[in-house]
Structure 1
Amino acid sequence: MDKFSFGERLVQLGSLRQLTLGSFVLALIPLIALLWQSQSDLAKVGKMTTLETRFVVDVVGDMQRLDGAATDLERSIRQFVVIRNEKVASLSDNALEKFAVAADNLCQALSIPNTCEQLSDQLTQLAEYRSIEDQLLLNAYLASVSHSVAQLRDDVEHVIAERVQLQQDDLNAMQAKQAWSTAMLVSVSLLLILLGSQLIVNPVNKLKQIIRNVAHQKGELPPLSRRAPRELIDVERDLHWLHDRLQQLEHIRTALLRHAAHELKTPLASIKEGCSLLSENVVGELNSSQQEVLSLLSGSTQRLNTLVEKLLDYNLLLQQAQPKIVETNPKKLLDACLEDYALALQEREVIVEVDVAMIRADEELFRRILDNLVSNAVAHGALGRPINVRIYQQGKQAVVDVANRGKRIAAESVPTLFEPFTRGAEPRNDNVIGTGLGLSIVADCARLMHGDVSVVDVDYADVCFRVTIPQQEK
């Protein structure tokens, strides 16, 4: 027993609060991972942008310095050609050195060996400017250097464009990765949220099923859950206890009604037999006073017999838990019902207007509904005014309307009208004391067929009871 209890505690999911918080934290893990990845990618983008920006600034600066050195070099060499003294030569050498340094820095940054080697050769040739006497040759050397500088400028633009395109490709790839990661991690997070909510929804749905079973008395309840929050397991355990308690009370009530009705039958039969013997003057002639007392006694006996029959009928109804829904001809059942009340209808000069259609229902339960509603209409209907019985289909429901003319039902009486042993405030027309079970039997019969009964307003009658019965598929 201890091992079982320990194992049961292991498979439980903890309290509802723990499950909710745990599910929330678990669902946040993918989002936290996504946030971390976003921050990491953002840092990479920032670092890459900084490096590329610095590279572009340095290269553009080197290119500008190279352009300035090329201009100074050409100007100083041309001045030397005109003046030809050592001071100008010194300036030319200094300009040549600056140009070589600027070209070397730019070539190291760009890594373009062909143009740089060509420019280096040209600088070597130009370094001999003191010994060059031919002006055309010197102009050619200077032109070739200018052309190489222009080529370097084009190479700089090309390298910058390539670096920008590479950076754009990296950003696109990073963006695609971010989108894919976002979709995956958000999906995982949603899946975890659904999983966590399902751990709560499943026990709640089971509780709803148990409540429906208890309400409709649908046999045994499902076994107690072992994998559910503790609070929901406690509620489920309480519902099981409530179901058992209701069954006990139902058995007690059924047994009480059965035994009470059975025990009343025997003395009632003796009283009726005695009244019959007295009315037939078997024990001697009765005077008028004795006959009056005997008449009162016979009437009370008849009312008591009606009460016992209603109790037996109600007890039998309580024992019928599973209705048999079949294709039913309500016209046949209604004719049989009206035949039982033919004398009462004839005495009160009441006609019954009938409009029926085929429906699906339990014939026994449906006959009890008709019997009690017609009996109630006869007892409370106005003298000489018709009773309307309409049975028709409305959507996926069969509707039974039994309407009569007479005194309307007070609004405050409607909520308790269908409770057992509750009689309406309006007096009956047949001077019979009602048992308060007729409309309760109608409500229970409708409930057993998953239907309902209510009092509705119609334009052709003062009182109308409406029974709705869902129509199941064949």
Structure 2
Amino acid sequence: MATPFTHLHRLLAMTTAVTRRWRPRSLLQLVLLAFLMVMLPLAVLMFQAGQALSELSRLADISARQAVEETRRARNLGALALEMERGARQYAVVEEASLLEIYAERVREFRQLLAQHALMLPDDPDVQALREQVDELARLPELPMEAFRQRLDDFLPFARHIEAMRQATGARIDARIDEIRVRAEVVQTRLWWQTAALVSASLLLMLLFTRLIIRPVRQLERRILGIGSGAQTGPTPAIQGPAELVSLDERLDWLASRLSELEEQKQQFLRHMSHELKTPLASVREGSSLLADGVAGELTPRQREILDLIDVSGGELQQLIEQLLDYNLLQHQQRFTPERLDIATIVKEVLAKHRLALLQKEMAVSCFDGPLVWQADRTAISRVLDNLISNAVAYGEDGGELEVRAHPRHDRLVVEVANSGEPIPPEDRPRLFEPFYQGRVRRKGALKGSGIGLSVAADCARLQHGRLELVDDPRLAVCFRLTLPRQVAVSDTPDEKRASAIEGADARS
């Protein structure tokens, strides 16, 4: 039983040595090598099984031939003994000399067959007795007739010994069959162990080559995911594997560098465009402000109406430029600084920025009461609230409602900004937070939106390990929910943490 495991150990050692010394240069070579190495133990198993079956077949054939020959010889010995007795008794009756010649011929044939049979049963007592008796019976023709007739009774023990010899022959044949059966069981057991060992070796080789093939593929998969998500920042280790996969890794390096260049060009374009747009816009807004102050003379009501439109459109354009700057900044800055803030105060500050727009749309605003202290990044949460309220002003209905709700929990803060108006179509919801995506619902006003406000808000939420999502509200058409986990600043002392918990409990009550 130790032999199959020894073969398995040698096979694994040989495979490891071959793998270390020679690596396939192509995926086709690796697959062909894997096929050959996996089939090798199975081929050895088939060869050994064929050898064992050939051996058993040969033993069975020899045993069958010997059994037939020995059985026929034993039967012939019995027939010759019967003819000898019949010839002797006939001679005792008719006293014809030709019968003695036939008798002597049968004795000679019997001796020859008995000598052959004695090779199979060398130590059998009945065979020895038959040899002695056939010598005595061969001397019968030399005796006088009276003595000849008296010795005819010697054929009775002679027949008994022949019958005993036939039984011994049958027992010998049965013993040989039992030996073949035992040998077959041993061979079968050996084949089972060899099958288990060699099939296990094939499975191990399959796992080994599967790992050799799958490992570089998974490395490429992680590389592609890293390139797609933008998480890959430093150099990656080179892939060790077939030439096709190594070449693909090199092409991914080229693709990653090319994407980095394009991303840098995009960021540079956004920075330059935002700067170039802010400079003339500042001049336009300054000029409209001077006209509104009457520097160029008194304005008619119609002129003041046009000037107000210019000023409002300039403000909206400035807001779009600031959103582009925020988007560009979030692509590079992935850190935030949590501090203790009163969320209610920040919401009121953001609402104050949009007071004129809310009055112009005659929207009814309701906000939760403070104070509500939470650990958050001031700039990030202000951007989220500013974009959500700006979105509500741009897409909400005139004379509608705007609600800002807050629900502090033990481990998170939930802030909801909901407004009445046209609901967002279901086909727009999956891509709602993608940059520069604009849905089917059009913005109300002269200036078209950029489609990055919600993307900036979602990025600011993720920056604080939170999330921004669109939820269903039973009363208002559009409801955005901002969820922020509880953050603990490094500088917080136990007393400050306890005070924060008390303030949060007061807000919930």
TM range (shorter): 0.7 to 0.9
Give the length in aligned residue pairs. 452
Aligned partner letter, 1:145: F
Matches within 5 A, 1:336-351: 336-337=346-347, 340-341=350-351, 343=355, 347-351=362-366
> Can you give the 5+ residue segments of structure 2 that lack an aligned partner in the other structure?
1-20, 487-509
Choose the corresponding residue for 2:455, options 440, 445, 451: 440
Tell me, what secondary structure is at the counterpart of 2:364? coil
Greater shift in the superposed pair: 332-341 or 47-56: 332-341
Identity of aligned pairs, percent?
34
Q: Does 1:129 align with 2:144?
A: no
> Can you give the 5+ residue segments of structure 1 that lack an aligned partner in the other structure?
1-9
Q: Does 1:189 align with 2:202?
A: yes
Choose the corresponding residue for 2:112, options 101, 106, 109: 101
Matches within 5 A, 1:41-440: 41-130=52-141, 131=143, 138=151, 141-220=154-233, 223=236, 225=238, 227-281=240-294, 285-288=298-301, 290-321=303-334, 333=343, 336-337=346-347, 340-341=350-351, 343=355, 347-351=362-366, 368-369=383-384, 371-382=386-397, 383-385=399-401, 404-410=419-425, 417-428=432-443, 433-440=448-455
CA 1:220/1:428 → structure 2, altered by over 3 Å: closer, same or farther?
closer
Q: Give the CA deviation at 1:55.
A: 0.6
Distance 1:129 1:202 in 2: 95
CA 1:370/1:112 → structure 2, altered by over 3 Å: closer, same or farther?
farther
Aligned partner letter, 2:182: D
Distance 2:394 2:239 in 1: 56
CA 1:406/1:106 → structure 2, altered by over 3 Å: closer, same or farther?
same
CA 1:45/1:392 → structure 2, altered by over 3 Å: closer, same or farther?
farther
Q: Deviations over 1:402-435 (max 9, x none)?
A: 6654323456656765443444443445766433
Q: Give the CA deviation at 1:216.
A: 1.5
Distance 2:396 2:136 in 1: 132
CA 1:185/1:391 → structure 2, altered by over 3 Å: closer, same or farther?
farther
Q: Give the CA deviation at 1:204.
A: 0.8
CA 1:455/1:231 → structure 2, altered by over 3 Å: closer, same or farther?
farther
Q: Give the CA deviation at 1:323.
A: 7.5
Normalising by structure 1, report the TM-score.
Answer: 0.79
Q: Give the CA deviation at 1:262.
A: 3.7
Distance 1:50 1:374 in 2: 97
Q: Which position in structure 1 is the counterpart of 2:11?
A: none
Aligned partner letter, 1:126: L
The answer to whether the Cα contact below 8 Å between 2:39 and 2:202 also exists between their aligned partners in 1 is yes
Q: Give the CA deviation at 1:13.
A: 2.9
> CA-atom RMSD, angstroms?
4.2
Q: Deviations over 1:118-141 (max 9, x none)?
A: 221122223333438569973653
Distance 1:414 1:466 in 2: 14
Distance 1:79 1:224 in 2: 108
CA 1:124/1:200 → structure 2, altered by over 3 Å: closer, same or farther?
same
Distance 2:133 2:415 in 1: 113
Distance 1:113 1:380 in 2: 116
Q: Deviations over 1:127-179 (max 9, x none)?
A: 33343856997365323212221221121111111111111111112222222
Q: Which position in structure 2 is the counterpart of 1:5?
A: none
The answer to whether the Cα contact below 8 Å between 2:323 and 2:456 also exists between their aligned partners in 1 is no
Q: Which position in structure 2 is the counterpart of 1:37?
A: 48
The answer to whether the Cα contact below 8 Å between 2:465 and 2:485 also exists between their aligned partners in 1 is yes
Aligned partner letter, 1:420: P
The answer to whether the Cα contact below 8 Å between 2:26 and 2:243 also exists between their aligned partners in 1 is yes
Normalising by structure 2, report the TM-score.
Answer: 0.74
The answer to whether the Cα contact below 8 Å between 2:389 and 2:417 also exists between their aligned partners in 1 is yes
Q: Give the CA deviation at 1:23.
A: 1.9
Distance 1:401 1:12 in 2: 60
Tell me, what secondary structure is at the counterpart of 2:119? helix
CA 1:12/1:279 → structure 2, altered by over 3 Å: closer, same or farther?
farther
CA 1:277/1:44 → structure 2, altered by over 3 Å: closer, same or farther?
same
Distance 1:83 1:360 in 2: 138
Q: Give the CA deviation at 1:198.
A: 1.9
